[in-house]
Chains A and B, each alone.
Chain A
């Protein structure tokens, strides 16, 4: 196609007043300013702090380059927190996915009537309605040595004496993982249920005609349709779970004996109890770098879906 310019008409852009050229920038200015103030500036500041000694706490911090990162990577407490975070995140994400998938398939089943499904839907989604503080209080009460869980376990002779689930170094990590699984599976369940409801029934009918068993239908029809949702959800969950702070802080505080110390609580303690904002910034930058890698994969998977 050829562009035709009428005689006497100014060339596009050339004759426009500067003010009109500025207008689009004016429109995007609030967003740009918000992004600058809320995202870019804090991130740049934290990266800057991570290369200083005595950031924030002293009036004249000194530049130390990568020293804080070297100190961090040679600190066994950091690796303990990283390992705990890895275990916590992997177990939580896998369990969220499996439980979410199981419950969503149950809610999508035709074997149950509309009323039981509605009741189960409300029950299953309940954990998602609570804030982290309420979840923490709830599970502290449930898992208290004098709590209902210990009472029931003792009543059926599974345990002889009460167990301090959050307070025993042997069970604390398991307890916080369990609590986090309980708190997070409904999000998977709802998303996967939406995905399941979008699978055309004709495909199942065709599979049945071809003699596919229920397992084969699940593997060859259901899973391929859920794959984009599963990948997106898993990556988002990895990001969220890696940064989980409130549930850990309000139940164990990273203890006992650091067995539930996560990168989030480790960083918080460096900053707000050790007042070592430089090391805390270095730790935060490491978490940010990891999150960015996951975010890049997430964006790529989103593009591939399109």
Chain B
């Protein structure tokens, strides 16, 4: 064989080897690892790191490592918006990180995929005292997600706009809210309320519509099944429509998203909104001169019972295919321990998932302490958590609600149609 031919053969061999590497890379998965000295590295995928002050989550992971020298936690931080799709596809391919940051809306589907570990088993086998947990997200009686931090959604009111409209205190019931919203719209250049019903992320149904129902002790479920035709839901939709028809709602409702809500409130374009407590800092930074208050979401007139307050969670779970479930569960227990949980909650400006933990309000915005009182006076309510394809349920509801507000459909027809659609998902 000539030198030229040899060279060509070598090149062809190298190309073949490169293809083999490509194939191997394409077929390889992720996950934690075990070193030869018995030390374990577990992966923790979440969006929290991007929302906490820089480096704080890493500090918590390092403190865990200091107490458990054989376990290292590798943080995989992604923005919330991209993590949902990634978690879904990783659940399918069996490449979920050992410890997974979860939103309650994702749980049902991941459990169906067999991607999440049954934490009830871990709780039982390690004799963990789960009475300290404020809540657990369960499917068919088994726990798959534990809320680490809860973010409540109270009513935000712009003090200056309310004063200009002649309103002295935030509204306590629906009639007061409608009257105040009308006064703001008529006497100022702002709108009374903002209702984001954009379908890109349809969580306005949960936070801005169903919150009215839960605040009056109502429910959209009956024995775990959809119950949208009950009088509580109907009254709520009738009420939302009355606000829309009174033209006190900010323009563009059908495509507005949650960020638009806080932006318009921050800019003084709307007088009232139901929003996450987590946005207090953002609002203060964006408009330091804005004076605003928070209060419980108004209840139906005459309602005196406890008010459900909508919430979103930073939840946590363990991958079913993790090779280091014991270590992953140890890390979950660490995050849920009284002091660590109180610390994370304080850093995130949320409320602890450990009911024995108290967030440190020292130096924090006084509104947090006020919100904690509202939280303690009511109960966390979010019936979408743990439901099958909850995003799709919200979107179905959203599209039908838009028809009602646009005058294309009656409230009764909307609720009957949505009930039938939801039933299929269950």
On A, residues with C-beta under 8 Å from B are 17, 19-20, 22-27, 29-30, 32-34, 37, 56-59, 144-146, 162, 164, 166-169, 172, 249-258, 269, 272-275
* Contacts known (A37-B23, A59-B114, A167-B254); A257 close to B12, Cβ less than 8 A: no
* A167, B113: Cα distance in complex, Å: 36
Which B1-48 residues have a C-beta within 8 angstroms of A?
1, 5, 8-9, 11-13, 15-16, 18-19, 22-23, 26
For A27, the chain B residues whose CB sits under 8 A away are 11-12, 15
* A20, B9: Cα distance in complex, Å: 7
For A24, the chain B residues whose CB sits under 8 A away are 12
* 12 contacting pairs across A/B (C-beta < 8 A): A24-B12, A27-B15, A34-B22, A145-B252, A167-B256, A255-B198, A255-B255, A258-B399, A269-B395, A273-B389, A273-B392, A274-B389
For B84, the chain A residues whose CB sits under 8 A away are 272
Query: In the complex, which residue of chain B has the Cβ closest to the Cβ of A41?
Result: B26
**Which of these binds chain A: B121-129, B221-229, B401-409?**
B401-409
Q: Are B22 and A164 in contact (CB under 8 A)?
A: no
The smallest beta-carbon distance between B186 and chain A, in angstroms, is 15
For A166, the chain B residues whose CB sits under 8 A away are 252, 255
For B253, the chain A residues whose CB sits under 8 A away are 164, 167
Q: Are B200 and A30 in contact (CB under 8 A)?
A: no
* A23, B112: Cα distance in complex, Å: 48
Q: Are B254 and A146 in contact (CB under 8 A)?
A: no
How many A-B contacts at CB < 8 Å in the complex? 126
The smallest beta-carbon distance between A255 and chain B, in angstroms, is 4
The size class of the interface chain B forms with chain A is 35 or more
Q: Are B254 and A58 in contact (CB under 8 A)?
A: no
Determine if B159 is an interface residue (Cβ-Cβ < 8 Å): no
Determine if B245 is an interface residue (Cβ-Cβ < 8 Å): no
Q: Are B113 and A56 in contact (CB under 8 A)?
A: yes
The smallest beta-carbon distance between A137 and chain B, in angstroms, is 11
For A22, the chain B residues whose CB sits under 8 A away are 12
Determine if B85 is an interface residue (Cβ-Cβ < 8 Å): yes
* Contacts known (A58-B112, A253-B198); A30 close to B392, Cβ less than 8 A: no
Determine if B199 is an interface residue (Cβ-Cβ < 8 Å): yes
* A81, B356: Cα distance in complex, Å: 51
Query: In the complex, which residue of chain A has the Cβ closest to the Cβ of B200?
Result: A253
Determine if B337 is an interface residue (Cβ-Cβ < 8 Å): no
Which DSSP category, helix, strand, loop or mixed, fits chain A's interface? loop
Q: Are A26 and B113 in contact (CB under 8 A)?
A: no
User: Which of B9, B16, B23, B199 sits near A254, CB closer than 8 Å?
Assistant: B199
Q: Are B199 and A29 in contact (CB under 8 A)?
A: no
User: Which of A20, A34, A257 sits near B402, CB closer than 8 Å?
Assistant: A257
Q: Are B200 and A250 in contact (CB under 8 A)?
A: yes
User: Which of B26, B112, B255 sits near A252, CB closer than 8 Å?
Assistant: B255
* Contacts known (A255-B198, A255-B399); A29 close to B16, Cβ less than 8 A: yes
Determine if B92 is an interface residue (Cβ-Cβ < 8 Å): yes
The smallest beta-carbon distance between A135 and chain B, in angstroms, is 15
Determine if B412 is an interface residue (Cβ-Cβ < 8 Å): no
For B389, the chain A residues whose CB sits under 8 A away are 273-275
Task: Please provide the 6 A-B residue pairs with the shortest distance between their CB atoms, ordered closest to farther.
Answer: A26-B12, A253-B200, A256-B254, A145-B251, A164-B252, A167-B252
Q: Mark B103-121, 1 if CB is under 8 A from A, else 0.
A: 0000001001110000000
Determine if B136 is an interface residue (Cβ-Cβ < 8 Å): no
Determine if B88 is an interface residue (Cβ-Cβ < 8 Å): yes
* A154, B392: Cα distance in complex, Å: 38
User: Which of B9, B15, B88, B251 sits near A30, CB closer than 8 Å?
Assistant: B15
Determine if B269 is an interface residue (Cβ-Cβ < 8 Å): yes
* A41, B238: Cα distance in complex, Å: 51
Q: Are A26 and B255 in contact (CB under 8 A)?
A: no
Q: Are A167 and B255 in contact (CB under 8 A)?
A: yes
* A251, B8: Cα distance in complex, Å: 54
User: Which of B9, B18, B392, B408 sits near A23, CB closer than 8 Å?
Assistant: B9
Determine if B391 is an interface residue (Cβ-Cβ < 8 Å): yes
For B408, the chain A residues whose CB sits under 8 A away are 257
Q: Are A257 and B395 in contact (CB under 8 A)?
A: no
Q: Are B112 and A57 in contact (CB under 8 A)?
A: yes
5 new A-B contacts, CB < 8 A, other than A164-B251, A254-B200, are: A24-B12, A26-B15, A30-B15, A34-B22, A164-B255
For A253, the chain B residues whose CB sits under 8 A away are 198-201, 255
Q: Are B402 and A33 in contact (CB under 8 A)?
A: no
The smallest beta-carbon distance between A124 and chain B, in angstroms, is 29
Q: Are A169 and B406 in contact (CB under 8 A)?
A: yes
* A34, B19: Cα distance in complex, Å: 8
* A174, B12: Cα distance in complex, Å: 55
For B22, the chain A residues whose CB sits under 8 A away are 30, 33-34, 37
Q: Are B399 and A257 in contact (CB under 8 A)?
A: yes
Query: In the complex, which residue of chain A has the Cβ closest to the Cβ of B198?
Result: A253
The smallest beta-carbon distance between B191 and chain A, in angstroms, is 10
Q: Mark B243-280, 1 if CB is under 8 A from A, else 0.
A: 00000001111111000000000000100000000000
The smallest beta-carbon distance between A268 and chain B, in angstroms, is 10
* A269, B198: Cα distance in complex, Å: 14
* A169, B109: Cα distance in complex, Å: 32
* Contacts known (A32-B19, A162-B251, A272-B88); A23 close to B113, Cβ less than 8 A: no
Q: Are A144 and B200 in contact (CB under 8 A)?
A: no
* Contacts known (A57-B112, A145-B251, A166-B252); A33 close to B9, Cβ less than 8 A: no
Query: In the complex, which residue of chain B has the Cβ closest to the Cβ of A25?
Result: B12
Q: Are B252 and A257 in contact (CB under 8 A)?
A: no
Q: Are B113 and A57 in contact (CB under 8 A)?
A: yes
User: Which of B92, B197, B199 sits near A56, CB closer than 8 Å?
Assistant: B92
The smallest beta-carbon distance between B5 and chain A, in angstroms, is 6
* A169, B402: Cα distance in complex, Å: 10
Query: In the complex, which residue of chain B has the Cβ closest to the Cβ of A256?
Result: B254
The smallest beta-carbon distance between B241 and chain A, in angstroms, is 15
* Contacts known (A20-B5, A255-B399, A257-B408); A57 close to B109, Cβ less than 8 A: yes
Query: In the complex, which residue of chain B has the Cβ closest to the Cβ of A140?
Result: B255
* A144, B267: Cα distance in complex, Å: 15
Query: In the complex, which residue of chain A has the Cβ closest to the Cβ of B88?
Result: A272
* Contacts known (A27-B12, A29-B15, A275-B109); A256 close to B402, Cβ less than 8 A: yes
Query: In the complex, which residue of chain B has the Cβ closest to the Cβ of A170?
Result: B406
The smallest beta-carbon distance between B319 and chain A, in angstroms, is 15
* Contacts known (A250-B200, A254-B199, A257-B402); A29 close to B254, Cβ less than 8 A: no
For B26, the chain A residues whose CB sits under 8 A away are 37
* Contacts known (A57-B113, A169-B406, A272-B85); A256 close to B255, Cβ less than 8 A: yes
User: Which of B1, B8, B19, B252 sits near A29, CB closer than 8 Å?
Assistant: B19
* A272, B105: Cα distance in complex, Å: 12
